[in-house]
């Protein structure tokens, strides 16, 4: 894929979303569904890798760029992630006090709700790909319960899920040996 086109698609996704993973539906549509240059599994991996380390949630764009076009794609993803930050200052100066009007507030709330719906729509195919076995479903449910009901840090949930996955994979290899 052309790196400049990739940059434009990723910038479009970041500019049309509010933050972090809300650009996921646009990325899924443009790169997975429409162009087929990225798989659901690669998109899942990108999100997982970005969530494991510190930094902004939108960091997954660097991984998406890498999976799509190698190192130049990763650079395009990084630049696409940073571009809105450079555009926001002049935009805020232009909007100024207009943001305090009730109509603007209603519009912002409507866009947030629409983004939540799009995020859910993009998550369903990724979940179908990720939850491929009964073990992954059990790990996902236990992780959700732990994250919602307790104050366990996300890192421990990720490490626990990784330990379960590695143990399962090792047992499978031992059975076939």
- d(Cα 84, Cα 58) in Å, to the nearest integer? 11
Is the same domain home to 78 and 119?
yes
Is the same domain home to 125 and 106?
yes
Is the same domain home to 34 and 79?
yes
Least confident of 40-49, 70-79, 107-116: 107-116
Is the same domain home to 96 and 152?
no
- Domain enclosing residue 142, as ranges: 131-177
Is the same domain home to 104 and 173?
no
Task: Please report the sign of the dihedral spanned by the C-alpha atoms of residue 44, residue 39, residue 65, residue 19.
Answer: negative
- d(Cα 114, Cα 55) in Å, to the nearest integer? 25
Is the same domain home to 120 and 143?
no
Does residue 172 surpass a pLDDT of 90?
no
Percent of the chain residues past pLDDT 90, beyond the cut: 33
Is the same domain home to 65 and 142?
no
Is the same domain home to 119 and 143?
no
Is the same domain home to 24 and 79?
yes
pLDDT digits (tens, 9 = 90+) for 46-101: 988 888 877 777 788 999 999 999 999 999 999 998 888 787 777 776 766 566 67
Residue 50, pLDDT score: 84
Q: How many domains does the chain have?
A: 2
Q: Which tokens belong to 121?
A: 């729509």
Residue 70, pLDDT score: 94
Residue 96, pLDDT score: 64
- d(Cα 29, Cα 64) in Å, to the nearest integer? 13
Residue at which a domain ends, from 90, 107, 129: 129
**Angle CA 14–26–119, to nearest 5:** 100
pLDDT band for position 138 (cuts 50, 70, 90): very high
Residue 64, pLDDT score: 94
Task: Say if residues 80 and 14 touch (Cβ distance below 8 Å).
Answer: yes
Is the same domain home to 175 and 95?
no
- d(Cα 124, Cα 119) in Å, to the nearest integer? 9
Give the mean pLDDT of 11-33: 85
Residue at which a domain ends, from 129, 152, 168: 129
How confident is the prediction for the chain on average, in pLDDT? 85
Is the same domain home to 163 and 124?
no
């Amino acid at each position: 894929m052309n790196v400049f086109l990739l940059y434009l698609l990723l910038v479009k996704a970041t500019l049309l979303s509010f933050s972090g993973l809300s650009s996921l539906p646009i990325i899924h549509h443009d790169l997975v569904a429409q162009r087929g240059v990225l798989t659901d599994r690669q998109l899942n991996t990108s999100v997982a890798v970005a969530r494991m380390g510190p930094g902004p949630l939108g960091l997954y764009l660097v991984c998406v760029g890498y999976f799509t076009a190698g190192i130049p794609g990763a650079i395009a993803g990084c630049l696409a992630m940073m571009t809105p930050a450079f555009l926001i200052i002049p935009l805020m100066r232009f909007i100024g006090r207009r943001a305090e009007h009730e109509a603007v507030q209603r519009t912002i709330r409507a866009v947030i709700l629409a983004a939540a719906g799009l995020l859910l729509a993009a998550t369903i195919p990724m979940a179908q790909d990720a939850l491929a076995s009964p073990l992954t479903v059990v790990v996902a449910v236990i992780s959700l319960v732990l994250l919602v009901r307790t104050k366990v840090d996300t890192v421990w949930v990720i490490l626990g899920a990784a330990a379960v996955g590695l143990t399962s994979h090792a047992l499978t290899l031992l059975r076939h040996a």
